[in-house]
Amino acid sequence: GAGVSQSPSNKVTEKGKDVELRCDPISGHTALYWYRQSLGQGLEFLIYFQGNSAPDKSGLPSDRFSAERTGGSVSTLTIQRTQQEDSAVYLCASSFTGVSTEAFFGQGTRLTVV
Amino acid sequence: KQEVTQIPAALSVPEGENLVLNCSFTDSAIYNLQWFRQDPGKGLTSLLLIQSSQREQTSGRLNASLDKSSGRSTLYIAASQPGDSATYLCAVRDNYGQNFVFGPGTRLSVLP
Protein backbone atom coordinates (compact mmCIF):
# COMPACT_ATOMS: atom_id res chain seq x y z
CA GLY A 1 0.00 0.00 0.00
CA ALA A 2 0.91 3.64 -0.22
CA GLY A 3 1.15 4.22 3.51
CA VAL A 4 1.24 2.53 6.88
CA SER A 5 -2.04 0.74 7.48
CA GLN A 6 -3.43 -0.09 10.91
CA SER A 7 -6.46 -2.16 11.85
CA PRO A 8 -8.89 -1.95 13.39
CA SER A 9 -9.27 1.83 13.47
CA ASN A 10 -11.37 1.56 16.61
CA LYS A 11 -11.68 -1.20 19.18
CA VAL A 12 -13.88 -1.36 22.25
CA THR A 13 -13.21 -4.25 24.59
CA GLU A 14 -14.21 -5.36 28.03
CA LYS A 15 -11.74 -5.22 30.88
CA GLY A 16 -9.85 -8.49 31.16
CA LYS A 17 -10.13 -9.44 27.48
CA ASP A 18 -7.16 -9.81 25.14
CA VAL A 19 -6.82 -7.62 22.05
CA GLU A 20 -4.67 -7.72 18.93
CA LEU A 21 -3.75 -4.64 16.94
CA ARG A 22 -2.32 -4.95 13.45
CA CYS A 23 0.16 -2.83 11.52
CA ASP A 24 1.05 -3.13 7.83
CA PRO A 25 4.18 -1.06 7.16
CA ILE A 26 5.14 0.61 3.91
CA SER A 27 6.51 -1.96 1.49
CA GLY A 28 10.28 -2.22 1.75
CA HIS A 29 10.52 -0.56 5.15
CA THR A 30 12.60 -2.69 7.48
CA ALA A 31 12.09 -0.68 10.65
CA LEU A 32 8.76 -0.71 12.51
CA TYR A 33 7.77 1.14 15.67
CA TRP A 34 4.82 1.06 18.04
CA TYR A 35 3.85 4.07 20.12
CA ARG A 36 0.99 4.79 22.49
CA GLN A 37 -0.79 8.12 22.90
CA SER A 38 -3.00 8.44 25.93
CA LEU A 39 -5.60 11.21 26.19
CA GLY A 40 -3.84 14.52 26.68
CA GLN A 41 -0.44 12.83 26.82
CA GLY A 42 2.53 12.70 24.51
CA LEU A 43 3.65 9.76 22.44
CA GLU A 44 5.12 6.93 24.48
CA PHE A 45 7.53 4.51 22.80
CA LEU A 46 6.58 0.85 23.15
CA ILE A 47 8.68 -1.37 20.88
CA TYR A 48 10.97 -1.18 17.84
CA PHE A 49 11.73 -3.84 15.20
CA GLN A 50 14.69 -3.57 12.81
CA GLY A 51 15.06 -6.29 10.21
CA ASN A 52 15.98 -9.61 11.75
CA SER A 53 17.55 -8.10 14.84
CA ALA A 54 16.12 -8.68 18.29
CA PRO A 55 13.42 -6.06 18.94
CA ASP A 56 13.91 -3.23 21.40
CA LYS A 57 11.17 -3.93 23.95
CA SER A 58 12.33 -1.39 26.48
CA GLY A 59 9.13 0.69 26.24
CA LEU A 60 6.59 -2.05 26.91
CA PRO A 61 4.80 -1.01 30.13
CA SER A 62 4.13 -4.51 31.49
CA ASP A 63 4.35 -8.19 30.62
CA ARG A 64 0.74 -8.02 29.43
CA PHE A 65 2.07 -6.29 26.31
CA SER A 66 3.83 -8.19 23.54
CA ALA A 67 4.48 -7.71 19.85
CA GLU A 68 5.69 -9.76 16.97
CA ARG A 69 6.61 -9.12 13.40
CA THR A 70 6.14 -11.94 10.94
CA GLY A 71 8.25 -12.23 7.82
CA GLY A 72 9.77 -8.84 8.41
CA SER A 73 6.53 -7.15 7.42
CA VAL A 74 3.22 -7.18 9.29
CA SER A 75 3.33 -6.60 13.04
CA THR A 76 0.81 -7.47 15.72
CA LEU A 77 0.67 -5.80 19.13
CA THR A 78 -1.11 -7.96 21.70
CA ILE A 79 -2.43 -6.73 25.02
CA GLN A 80 -3.54 -9.45 27.42
CA ARG A 81 -6.04 -9.00 30.24
CA THR A 82 -6.74 -5.42 29.23
CA GLN A 83 -7.13 -2.75 31.90
CA GLN A 84 -8.86 0.61 31.69
CA GLU A 85 -5.52 2.40 31.76
CA ASP A 86 -4.67 0.66 28.48
CA SER A 87 -7.22 2.90 26.74
CA ALA A 88 -5.27 5.00 24.26
CA VAL A 89 -4.47 5.45 20.59
CA TYR A 90 -1.85 2.96 19.45
CA LEU A 91 0.27 4.27 16.58
CA CYS A 92 2.55 2.32 14.29
CA ALA A 93 5.33 3.79 12.16
CA SER A 94 7.81 2.42 9.65
CA SER A 95 10.98 3.56 7.92
CA PHE A 96 13.83 2.31 5.79
CA THR A 97 16.95 0.96 7.46
CA GLY A 98 19.22 3.51 9.05
CA VAL A 99 18.88 6.09 11.75
CA SER A 100 18.80 8.96 9.28
CA THR A 101 15.63 7.93 7.53
CA GLU A 102 12.20 9.49 7.72
CA ALA A 103 9.48 7.72 9.69
CA PHE A 104 5.89 7.48 8.49
CA PHE A 105 2.94 6.86 10.78
CA GLY A 106 -0.35 5.07 10.36
CA GLN A 107 -3.71 6.49 11.41
CA GLY A 108 -3.69 4.60 14.67
CA THR A 109 -6.02 2.25 16.51
CA ARG A 110 -8.18 3.83 19.20
CA LEU A 111 -8.56 1.29 21.99
CA THR A 112 -11.24 1.76 24.62
CA VAL A 113 -11.40 -0.62 27.57
CA VAL A 114 -14.75 -0.56 29.37
CA LYS B 1 17.71 10.43 29.22
CA GLN B 2 16.62 12.57 26.30
CA GLU B 3 13.78 14.98 27.04
CA VAL B 4 11.95 17.09 24.47
CA THR B 5 9.88 20.16 25.23
CA GLN B 6 7.79 22.40 23.02
CA ILE B 7 6.78 26.00 23.50
CA PRO B 8 4.14 27.29 23.40
CA ALA B 9 1.71 24.54 24.38
CA ALA B 10 -1.04 26.30 22.42
CA LEU B 11 -1.15 29.18 19.98
CA SER B 12 -4.00 31.04 18.33
CA VAL B 13 -3.31 33.43 15.46
CA PRO B 14 -5.32 35.21 12.77
CA GLU B 15 -5.06 33.96 9.23
CA GLY B 16 -2.12 35.30 7.26
CA GLU B 17 0.31 35.66 10.15
CA ASN B 18 3.79 34.18 10.13
CA LEU B 19 4.52 32.11 13.21
CA VAL B 20 7.27 30.15 14.94
CA LEU B 21 6.97 26.97 16.95
CA ASN B 22 9.81 25.97 19.25
CA CYS B 23 11.28 22.61 20.17
CA SER B 24 14.08 21.98 22.68
CA PHE B 25 15.94 18.81 23.53
CA THR B 26 18.31 18.09 26.39
CA ASP B 27 20.92 15.88 24.72
CA SER B 28 22.56 17.18 21.56
CA ALA B 29 23.80 13.74 20.48
CA ILE B 30 21.05 13.20 17.92
CA TYR B 31 20.86 11.63 14.49
CA ASN B 32 18.00 13.77 13.27
CA LEU B 33 14.89 15.72 14.20
CA GLN B 34 11.51 15.32 12.54
CA TRP B 35 8.47 17.62 12.62
CA PHE B 36 4.97 16.15 12.37
CA ARG B 37 1.45 17.46 12.37
CA GLN B 38 -1.47 15.64 13.93
CA ASP B 39 -5.08 16.45 13.14
CA PRO B 40 -7.72 15.56 15.78
CA GLY B 41 -8.37 11.84 15.88
CA LYS B 42 -5.77 11.16 13.22
CA GLY B 43 -2.26 9.78 12.95
CA LEU B 44 0.91 11.78 12.41
CA THR B 45 1.86 13.35 9.09
CA SER B 46 5.55 13.92 8.48
CA LEU B 47 6.38 17.52 7.60
CA LEU B 48 10.15 17.88 7.61
CA LEU B 49 13.19 15.79 8.54
CA ILE B 50 16.45 17.52 9.46
CA GLN B 51 19.63 15.48 9.73
CA SER B 52 22.08 16.33 12.51
CA SER B 53 24.51 17.75 9.95
CA GLN B 54 21.92 20.11 8.46
CA ARG B 55 20.90 23.58 9.58
CA GLU B 56 17.49 23.82 7.95
CA GLN B 57 14.94 22.26 5.66
CA THR B 58 12.16 23.87 3.66
CA SER B 59 8.92 22.58 2.22
CA GLY B 60 6.48 25.07 0.77
CA ARG B 61 5.45 27.53 3.48
CA LEU B 62 7.31 25.55 6.13
CA ASN B 63 10.89 26.05 7.21
CA ALA B 64 12.54 24.10 10.00
CA SER B 65 15.88 25.00 11.51
CA LEU B 66 18.17 23.03 13.76
CA ASP B 67 20.81 24.24 16.20
CA LYS B 68 22.11 20.98 17.56
CA SER B 69 24.68 22.47 19.91
CA SER B 70 22.06 24.47 21.76
CA GLY B 71 19.43 21.74 21.56
CA ARG B 72 16.87 23.75 19.64
CA SER B 73 14.73 23.57 16.56
CA THR B 74 12.14 25.95 15.21
CA LEU B 75 9.33 25.42 12.74
CA TYR B 76 8.43 28.56 10.83
CA ILE B 77 5.05 28.70 9.11
CA ALA B 78 4.59 31.52 6.63
CA ALA B 79 1.25 33.09 5.75
CA SER B 80 -0.73 30.79 8.02
CA GLN B 81 -4.07 29.39 6.86
CA PRO B 82 -7.03 27.85 8.75
CA GLY B 83 -6.02 24.51 7.26
CA ASP B 84 -2.78 24.71 9.22
CA SER B 85 -4.76 24.26 12.44
CA ALA B 86 -3.45 21.08 14.08
CA THR B 87 -1.06 19.87 16.76
CA TYR B 88 2.58 20.09 15.75
CA LEU B 89 5.01 17.58 17.23
CA CYS B 90 8.76 17.43 17.08
CA ALA B 91 10.70 14.24 17.66
CA VAL B 92 14.42 13.52 17.96
CA ARG B 93 16.28 10.33 17.23
CA ASP B 94 19.22 10.23 19.54
CA ASN B 95 22.46 8.30 19.52
CA TYR B 96 21.42 6.01 22.36
CA GLY B 97 18.46 4.27 20.80
CA GLN B 98 16.71 3.71 17.55
CA ASN B 99 13.35 5.10 18.56
CA PHE B 100 12.06 8.66 18.46
CA VAL B 101 11.55 10.80 21.55
CA PHE B 102 8.58 13.12 21.12
CA GLY B 103 7.74 16.49 22.55
CA PRO B 104 4.26 17.15 23.96
CA GLY B 105 3.23 19.20 20.93
CA THR B 106 1.97 22.70 20.18
CA ARG B 107 -1.73 23.04 19.43
CA LEU B 108 -2.15 25.65 16.70
CA SER B 109 -5.39 27.38 15.79
CA VAL B 110 -5.48 29.69 12.78
CA LEU B 111 -8.58 31.83 12.81
CA PRO B 112 -10.25 32.87 9.55
Q: Which tens digits make up the pLDDT trace of B30-85?
A: 989 999 999 988 889 999 999 999 999 999 999 999 999 999 999 999 999 999 99
The neighbour count for residue B18, using CB atoms within 10 Å, is 11
Strand bridging mode A109-113 / A10-13:
parallel
B51 inside 8 A of chain A by CB:
yes
Of B79, B77, B76, B74, nearest to B90 by C-alpha is: B74
A31 touches chain B (CB under 8 A): yes
Q: What is the mean pLDDT of chain B?
A: 94
Q: Decide if A92 contacts A105 (C-beta within 8 A).
A: yes
Say what percent of chain B tops pLDDT 70: 98
Q: What is the DSSP letter of B79?
A: S
Substitution target in B42, B88, B100 with the highest count of A β-carbons within 10 Å is: B100
pLDDT of residue B104: 94
Dihedral in degrees, nearest 10, Cα atoms A102, A107, A112, B4: 30
Residue B16 backbone dihedrals phi, psi, to 5 degrees: 100, -15
**Are B46 and A103 inside 8 Å of each other by CB?**
yes
Ranges of chain A whose pLDDT falls below 70 = 1, 99
